[in-house]
Amino acid sequence: MLTVIKFGGSSLASREKVENAARIAAREREEGNRVVMVVSAQGDSTDELMSRAHELSAEPDLRELDVLLSAGEQISMALAAIALHELGVPAVSLCGWQAGIVTDGEHGGARVRAVHTERLKRELDAGRVVVAAGFQGIDEKGDITTIGRGGSDTTAAVLAAALGADVCRIYTDVHGVYSADPREITTAVRHGEISYDEMLELASLGAKVLHSRAVDIARREGTALEVLSSFEQGSGTRICAGGERREVTAVTSDAAVAVLRVKPAEPQNVAELLARLAGEGIATDMVTCAGGELALSLPSEQAEKAVQSLREGGGEIALDGDAAKLSAVGAGMAGSPRAAARMLAALRREKIEIKMVYSGEIKTSVVVGREDRRRGLEAIHKEFFE
Ligand code: ASP
Ligand code: MG
């Protein structure tokens, strides 16, 4: 079997943790597997490198920033390989370019275009564990790129797909995918299995356990994905096609949401306002238009830019910059408003004001005030799981 195993920053944050990750890789290999180990930078070191660049410049050059940030993973990979050698396991560390990961030239958010697997295969054939740096690649010019924050999951999924791995295991500091983030909701229950579609929605809606692009790649390639704890042996969560159709599988929240309400001078200007936002590259989330008023939710960081661009279009604009989104995801929701009704009732019992609601095929989202996020999430979780 060929397995790709990925360790995040929290699973590599100290010497002991690096040794622990190396032991897991060694165990995988003892079981007769060919092993590719993908590593993130240790702990918060990517953030630390980022602040060092910002101490020197408000807008550091993106190419140089990638050179700097990619160093975090380069440290991890060498340490992990050294720890493996100590365990008597043959291992070799490879940077993105050495592992054949070719991306476009979008520094800071590059997309993987191809993986040239010759070197990887050669090392695996020689019986070595390959420790690959997550989060990085090389562009056509030969420059180092990074593929977006949290991108090591994506590196793991990309390598698993390119090598035709039997499974891609994401080792992290929780035991799998839960009905809510167990670090926040202590009564959350772990799922043995969840579908790619549900996981993709959850990741896009703010769940931090897996990066959405990684789930998307695994789904497209049909790679079996697992989320497991690096600190305790246990069964974890399998992400696969199909699976149980629960009305709600998990709830999650996003605390960085803004709501904009616009009353255009002429109702027919709504299309023009939306086109204006699209032209500015603003990512709207929920959009409703009723009674001549346009309401939309969007990431808070884009709120100011959106207001500016709408102001040029005229009309009345009201910005509520302190909102949060609570979402429930479940394949068994199947377009029925039942889950939405239960969510709204749970929030009403808590006297939480609801600003917007969206009910779709497998997700329902509600926008509330940011101060109500935690309480609302608890109420919804209780409604479906306790
Ligand atoms: N070290 C990178 C980051 O912090 C990549 C990752 O953790 O997946 O964003
Ligand atoms: Mg990290």
User: CATH number, domain at 368?
Assistant: 3.30.2130.10
User: How far, in Å, from the CA of 355 to the mean position of ligand 2?
Assistant: 33
Q: Is the pLDDT of residue 115 over 90?
A: yes
Quick check: is 308 in a domain?
Answer: yes
Domain boundary among 240, 273, 295: 240
Do 314 and 224 lie in a common domain?
Answer: no
Q: Give me the pLDDT at residue 273, please.
A: 87
Do 34 and 122 lie in a common domain?
Answer: yes
Question: What is the pTM for the complete model shown?
Answer: 0.89
CA-closest candidate to residue 138, choices 121, 155, 156, 162 = 155
User: How far, in Å, from the CA of 43 to the mean position of ligand 2?
Assistant: 6
* CA atoms of 49 and 69, how far apart (whole Å): 6
Q: Give me the pLDDT at residue 185, please.
A: 96
Q: Give me the pLDDT at residue 342, please.
A: 95
Whole-Å CA distances, 320 to 267, 278, 280, 370:
22, 20, 20, 10
Residue ranges of the alpha helices (H) in 313-360?
A: 338-349
Number of independent structural domains in the chain: 2
* CA atoms of 265 and 282, how far apart (whole Å): 22
The whole-number average pLDDT for the span 154-175 is: 96
Quick check: is 130 in a domain?
Answer: yes
Instruction: Decide whether any atom of ligand 1 lies within 6 Å of the 243 Cβ.
Output: no
Query: What percentage of the chain exceeds 70 in pLDDT?
Result: 99
Quick check: is 152 in a domain?
Answer: yes
Q: Give me the pLDDT at residue 335, please.
A: 78
Do 257 and 198 lie in a common domain?
Answer: no
* CA atoms of 385 and 249, how far apart (whole Å): 9
Band (310; pLDDT cuts 50, 70, 90)? confident
* CA atoms of 225 and 169, how far apart (whole Å): 6
CA dihedral 300, 304, 306, 307 (to 10 degrees): 130
- pLDDT tens for 124-147 read 999 999 999 999 999 999 999 999
Read off the CATH number of the domain in which 116 is found: 3.40.1160.10
Quick check: is 123 in a domain?
Answer: yes
Band (216; pLDDT cuts 50, 70, 90)? very high
- pLDDT tens for 274-291 read 888 999 999 999 999 888
The whole-number average pLDDT for the span 190-202 is: 95
Residue 143: in which H helix or E strand, if any?
none
Q: Give me the pLDDT at residue 242, please.
A: 83
Say whether 233 sits in a helix, a strand or coil.
coil
Say whether 320 sits in a helix, a strand or coil.
strand
Q: Give me the pLDDT at residue 188, please.
A: 96
Instruction: Decide whether any atom of ligand 1 lies within 6 Å of the 176 Cβ.
Output: no
**What is the residue with the minimal CA distance to atom 5 of ligand 1?**
150
Do 80 and 121 lie in a common domain?
Answer: yes
Closest ligand 1 atom number to CA of residue 135? 5
Do 186 and 53 lie in a common domain?
Answer: yes
Q: Give me the pLDDT at residue 208, please.
A: 82
* Ligand 1 binding pocket mutation candidate from 6, 12, 46, 172 (most atoms within 8 A of CB): 46
Do 273 and 153 lie in a common domain?
Answer: no
The whole-number average pLDDT for the span 296-308 is: 93
Q: Is the pLDDT of residue 301 over 80?
A: yes
Do 254 and 235 lie in a common domain?
Answer: no
Instruction: Please name the residue that has the structure tokens 């003892």.
Output: 30
* Chain centre distance of CA 90: 32
Q: Is the pLDDT of residue 268 over 90?
A: no
CA-closest candidate to residue 103, choices 137, 62, 132, 151 = 137
Domain boundary among 216, 240, 264: 240
Do 219 and 266 lie in a common domain?
Answer: no
Closest ligand 1 atom number to CA of residue 150? 8
Instruction: Decide whether any atom of ligand 1 lies within 6 Å of the 152 Cβ.
Output: yes
Provide the domain limits for residue 376. Answer: 250-385
User: How far, in Å, from the CA of 18 to the mean position of ligand 1?
Assistant: 16
**What is the residue with the minimal CA distance to atom 9 of ligand 1?**
149
Q: Give me the pLDDT at residue 243, please.
A: 79
Q: Give me the pLDDT at residue 291, please.
A: 82
Q: Give me the pLDDT at residue 293, please.
A: 87
Q: Is the pLDDT of residue 314 over 80?
A: no
CA-closest candidate to residue 191, choices 239, 122, 263, 256 = 239
Quick check: is 245 in a domain?
Answer: no
Whole-Å CA distances, 7 to 142, 144, 191:
27, 21, 21
> DSSP assignment, residue 71?
H
Q: Give me the pLDDT at residue 165, please.
A: 98
Instruction: Decide whether any atom of ligand 1 lies within 6 Å of the 330 Cβ.
Output: no
Do 339 and 256 lie in a common domain?
Answer: yes
Q: Output the average pLDDT for the chain.
A: 95
Do 232 and 267 lie in a common domain?
Answer: no
- pLDDT tens for 337-369 read 899 999 999 999 999 999 999 998 999 999 999
Quick check: is 196 in a domain?
Answer: yes
List, as ranges, residues with CB under 5 A of the ion ligand 2.
Answer: 9, 40, 46
Quick check: is 73 in a domain?
Answer: yes
* CA atoms of 66 and 141, how far apart (whole Å): 14
Do 29 and 155 lie in a common domain?
Answer: yes
Instruction: Decide whether any atom of ligand 1 lies within 6 Å of the 151 Cβ.
Output: yes
Domain boundary among 240, 269, 289: 240
Do 233 and 310 lie in a common domain?
Answer: no
Please give the span between the terminal C-alpha atoms of the chain, in angstroms, as a whole number: 40
